[in-house]
């Protein structure tokens, strides 16, 4: 189907522009919309998706937003988002995915380095794809691998961008952030840049710096939020200074087309950095529950899945079929799916979300019967798509269509 996020439902009254703020009405409507769909049901509410997509543009303050495809993994949603003013380009997560998307998209940046020799050979032999896809590098060894697959004289010129480490090296606390690139300061990035431009067959066109300690760290999550906010303030200031120095030096070495930064959790701060020409967002579109704990924004719960109650071992416990769709990251409780509706249900400490069944306990279980449905939200936004071949689309209490996930199209990239 063709998903148009520029056309809100004509029947949506102004007073119900954000129906998810009334949890009982919102989840009851979604339950009614998918009543005839066999479980498990993965669903996207298009009104919530529209709200999130437009909110991300507002938060990026006029700086174009590149869409992180790993946080969506549904081509129709990706295309509908890119059709909105304010969005520009795709941040892909694997080279095979980028090659697949390049049939329809002409601005794809690979968010991570690749060692996929077969995909590199395909890219090197396809001038059209090579003009549309930018590889990500942070080490000369990655260029050596490309040349070993396809020497410069035998292939199209390849676009590359540098991934520079955006973590904070705090004076006392040490490394704060994720472990990504080995190049951190301006001199290190410049040495890599000079080595790239000196190589035959490569064009240095961009820089990416992803500040995970800001974009991916909730700042209103509990008793430690004051410490988190302190860390983020210090890290932001250090990064503005360092990124500015890196960009200034790189522009003396190569004509950069883009400087990419940020993520859903840091759009305000990243877009305010004058060195940045584009931000990245993806998770905020479908809104996994890990993004509930931010002060600056409140995403609408667009993507969710419903599971059927199949057992009732005690009056205050129900068991649903399936549920063990655990998100990547540290093996902690926050990576489990979150029971969203009925309110007040919780997983059992000794079982959690199970591969085949998930017991849920709480007063709400007393009113549930066999065949009823419980709604869950996945911790992350894109990984749910690896579990299902389609999302059904809802608007209020109406089922309005369905879209295939990557998996539904026969693709599984990671």
pLDDT of residue 232: 76
Give the model confidence (pLDDT) of 51-74 as tens digits. 999 999 999 999 999 999 999 999
Percent of the chain whose pLDDT exceeds 90: 80
Select the CATH number that applies to the domain covering 48-286 from these four: 3.40.50.150, 3.20.20.10, 1.10.3720.10, 3.40.50.1860. Answer: 3.20.20.10
Residue of 4 and 148 predicted with greater confidence: 148
Domain 16-40+302-409 listed as CATH 2.40.37.20: yes
Q: Which residues contact 356 (CB under 8 A, 6 or more apart)?
A: 321, 322, 324
Q: Which H/E stretch holds residue 250?
A: helix 225-251
pLDDT at 201 over 90: yes
The residues that bridge with 391 in the sheet, in sequence order, are 403
Residue of 143 and 235 predicted with greater confidence: 143
How far apart (Å, rounded) are the C-alpha atoms in residues 91 and 64?
Answer: 13
What does the domain layout of the chain look like in residue ranges? 16-40+302-409, 48-286
How far apart (Å, rounded) are the C-alpha atoms in residues 412 and 73?
Answer: 9
pLDDT of residue 27: 98
Axis-axis angle for helices 186-197, 225-251 (nearest 10): 40
pLDDT of residue 214: 77
Mean pLDDT value across residues 252-268? 94
Residue of 329 and 302 predicted with greater confidence: 302
Question: E strands within 41-96?
Answer: 41-45, 65-68, 87-92
How many CB atoms sit inside 10 A of residue 126's CB?
Answer: 16
Mean pLDDT value across residues 114-143? 98
The residues that bridge with 359 in the sheet, in sequence order, are 319
How far apart (Å, rounded) are the C-alpha atoms in residues 4 and 284?
Answer: 18
Q: What is the CA angle 107-62-189, rounded to 5?
A: 55
Lowest-pLDDT range, 113-122, 167-176, 177-186, 327-336? Answer: 167-176
**Which of 317, 318, 336 lies closest to 326 in space, CA to CA?**
336
Structure tokens at 202: 């490569």
Mean pLDDT value across residues 175-197? 92
**Which of 304, 361, 307, 278 lies closest to 91 in space, CA to CA?**
278
Residue 160 CA, chain-centre distance (Å), reads: 22
How far apart (Å, rounded) are the C-alpha atoms in residues 201 and 90?
Answer: 23
pLDDT at 295 over 90: no
DSSP per-residue codes, 307-360: EEEEEEEETTEEEEE----PPSSSSSGGGSPEEEESTT-EE-TTT-S-SSEEEE
Give the model confidence (pLDDT) of 72-89 as tens digits. 999 999 999 999 999 999
DSSP state of 296: S
Mean pLDDT value across residues 239-258? 95
The pLDDT-based confidence of 233 (bands split at 50, 70, 90) is confident
How far apart (Å, rounded) are the C-alpha atoms in residues 302 and 242?
Answer: 36
pLDDT of residue 231: 76
204, 193 Cβ separation under 8 angstroms: yes
Residue of 175 and 116 predicted with greater confidence: 116
pLDDT at 190 over 80: yes
**How many alpha carbons lie under 13 Å from residue 399 in its C-beta half-sphere?**
15
The pLDDT-based confidence of 136 (bands split at 50, 70, 90) is very high
Lowest-pLDDT range, 175-184, 310-319, 352-361? Answer: 175-184
How far apart (Å, rounded) are the C-alpha atoms in residues 5 and 50?
Answer: 6
Mean pLDDT value across residues 10-18? 56
């Amino acid at each position: 189907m063709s998903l148009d996020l520029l056309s809100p439902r004509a029947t949506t009254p102004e007073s119900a522009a954000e129906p998810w703020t009334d949890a009982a009405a919102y989840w009851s409507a979604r339950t009614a919309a998918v009543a005839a769909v066999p479980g498990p049901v993965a669903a996207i509410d298009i009104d919530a998706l529209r709200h999130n997509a437009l909110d991300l543009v507002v938060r990026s303050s006029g700086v174009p937003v590149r869409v992180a495809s790993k946080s969506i993994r549904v081509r129709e949603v990706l295309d509908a988002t890119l059709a909105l003013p304010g969005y520009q380009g795709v941040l892909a997560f694997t080279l095979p995915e980028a090659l697949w998307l390049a049939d329809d998209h002409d601005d794809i940046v690979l968010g991570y380095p690749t060692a996929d020799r077969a995909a590199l050979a395909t890219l090197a032999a396809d001038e059209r794809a090579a003009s549309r896809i930018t590889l990500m590098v942070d080490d000369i060894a990655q260029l050596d691998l490309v040349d070993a697959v396809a020497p410069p004289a035998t292939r199209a010129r390849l676009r590359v961008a540098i991934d520079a480490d955006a973590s904070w090296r705090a004076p006392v606390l040490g490394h704060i952030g994720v472990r990504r690139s080995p190049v951190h300061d301006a001199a290190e990035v410049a040495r890599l840049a000079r080595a790239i431009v000196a190589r035959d067959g490569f064009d240095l066109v961009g820089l990416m710096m992803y500040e995970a300690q800001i974009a991916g760290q909730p700042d209103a999550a509990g008793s430690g939020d004051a410490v988190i906010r302190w860390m983020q303030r210090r890290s932001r200031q250090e990064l503005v200074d360092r990124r500015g120095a890196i960009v200034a030096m790189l522009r003396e070495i190569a004509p950069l087309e883009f400087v990419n930064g940020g993520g859903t959790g840091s759009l305000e701060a990243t877009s305010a950095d004058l060195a940045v020409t584009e931000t990245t967002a993806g998770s905020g579109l479908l809104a996994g529950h890990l993004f509930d704990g931010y002060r600056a924004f409140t995403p609408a719960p667009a993507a969710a899945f419903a599971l059927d109650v199949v057992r009732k071992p005690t009056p205050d416990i129900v068991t649903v079929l399936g549920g063990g769709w655990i998100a990547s990251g540290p093996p902690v409780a926050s990576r489990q799916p979150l029971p969203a509706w009925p309110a007040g249900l919780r997983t059992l400490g000794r079982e959690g979300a199970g591969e085949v069944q998930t017991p849920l306990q709480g007063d709400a279980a007393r009113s549930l019967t066999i065949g009823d449905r419980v709604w869950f939200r996945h911790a992350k936004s894109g990984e749910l798509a690896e579990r299902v071949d389609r999302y059904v689309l809802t608007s209020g209490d109406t089922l309005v269509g369905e879209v295939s996930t990557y998996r539904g199209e026969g693709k599984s990239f990671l």
